[in-house]
Amino acid sequence: MKIKALFFASCRDIVKNREIELEVPEGATAAEVLNQLCQTYPRLSDLRGRMALSVNEDYAAPESILRPGDTLALIPPVSGGCL
């Protein structure tokens, strides 16, 4: 099945793209797709334990099952604050 993956901030810098379309097995979880992306883009592994995932604009657990046409976003940790 086809899904879209979105990348923000440092994830986008690693992948060198804001979004890509992926072919994944039917019933794949967000974690399985993240594993696939980390194999393709090994530097994503550095952020793995700290990034948030969302599916169709809602925060999602790694075990969330994806459906055809879903959008999985990888959101790295952000920092900042007031000056």
Domains and CATH numbers, the chain: 2-75 (3.10.20.30)
Q: Which residue has the tokens 């959101």?
A: 75
Reported as a single tens digit per residue, the pLDDT across 37-62 is 999 999 999 998 899 999 999 999 99
d(CA 51, CA 7): 11
For residue 82, is pLDDT > 90?
no
Quick one: tokens of 28?
């794949």
- Looking at per-residue confidence, does 70 or 78 come out higher? 70
- Looking at per-residue confidence, does 49 or 64 come out higher? 64
Q: What phi-psi label fits residue 27: left (phi over 0), alpha (psi between -120 and 50 degrees) or beta? A: left
